[in-house]
Amino acid sequence: ANVDPLKIMISGAPASGKGTQCELIKNKYGLVHVAAGDLLRAEIASGSENGKRAKEYMEKGQLVPDEIAVMMVKDRLSQPDSQEKGWLLDGYPRSLSQATGLKAYGFEPDLFILLEVSEDILVERVVGRRLDPVTGKIYHLKYFPPETEEIAARLTQRFDDTEEKVKLRLHTHNQNVETVLSLYEDITIKVKGNAPKEDVFVQIDTALTKLLEQKKSALAA
């Protein structure tokens, strides 16, 4: 029999580095990265009714209603690739009802990663963030500037990446984080996210390696 694939949740304040760490985790462990915010932005881009509704909440930095968020995430986790390779759920759940909603469909994580970053750093990370629409890569004007002029010319900025909007997002995060954390206390690792991204990844990598070893020995026993 094969080892049961990894099922990971990653959480943290806006711009704490979730997407950045997910790129590194995906590259090493081959998990399917499911980012609630990316699914919502794809829904907006498709022009659907759900997308239009979602955007109203996202512009205010508030949580999109459960009937949109829960179904969207559940559908993505049910796809064959997530089932076969394992999943890395980014930015979900953000409330008690989202956690119970997903659990009702049988999705439960092995590990809950919390990225801890001080608030003064978050604003700087948000306003400097840029995205490459071609590769999906996340850049930062100061910390990870684009490699070439060609890439620099095509970088885009998210509509909610202003200082004013990130403060609203942070407020929403602070209101909900304790409730969500209390649900996953037994499987949570807290990661120091103020460090350079490679150092942050070392902390996560160590935990994932250990978890995989535990799964392997459980299978052999």
| Interacting residue ranges for ligand AP5, rule: CB under 6 A | 12, 14-20, 36-37, 40, 57-58, 61-64, 69, 91-92, 94, 98, 125, 128-129, 138-140, 143-144, 169, 196-197, 200
* Residue 74 annotated as catalytic: no
Return the structure tokens found at 180: 């969500």
**Nearer to ligand AP5 by C-beta: 1 or 164?**
164
Q: Which residue is nearest to ligand AP5 (CB)?
A: 37
Q: What is the DSSP letter of 217?
A: H
Of 7, 76, 125, 129, the active-site residue reads 129
**Nearer to ligand AP5 by C-beta: 105 or 144?**
144
Residue that is written with structure tokens 């590194």 in the block: 24
* Residue 94 annotated as catalytic: yes
State the minimum distance, in angstroms, from the CB of residue 210 to ligand AP5.
Answer: 22
State the minimum distance, in angstroms, from the CB of residue 188 to ligand AP5.
Answer: 17
HSE at residue 76, side-chain half, CA atoms within 13 A, is: 21
Q: Report the SS3 class of residue 216.
A: helix
Measure the CA–CA gap between 69 and 32, rounded to whole angstroms.
18
**Nearer to ligand AP5 by C-beta: 158 or 215?**
158
Of 26, 137, 158, 215, the active-site residue reads 158
Of 7, 18, 41, 130, the active-site residue reads 18
* Residue 190 annotated as catalytic: no
CB atoms within 10 A of CB 131: 18
**Nearer to ligand AP5 by C-beta: 14 or 86?**
14
Measure the CA–CA gap between 220 and 56, rounded to whole angstroms.
51
Contact 181, 93 (CB under 8 A): no
Of 94, 125, 130, 165, the active-site residue reads 94
* Residue 154 annotated as catalytic: no
* Residue 85 annotated as catalytic: no
State the minimum distance, in angstroms, from the CB of residue 20 to ligand AP5.
Answer: 3
Contact 9, 111 (CB under 8 A): yes
Measure the CA–CA gap between 11 and 91, rounded to whole angstroms.
6
- The packing angle between helices 119-128 and 163-183, to 10°, is 130
Residues designated as active site: 18, 94, 129, 158, 169
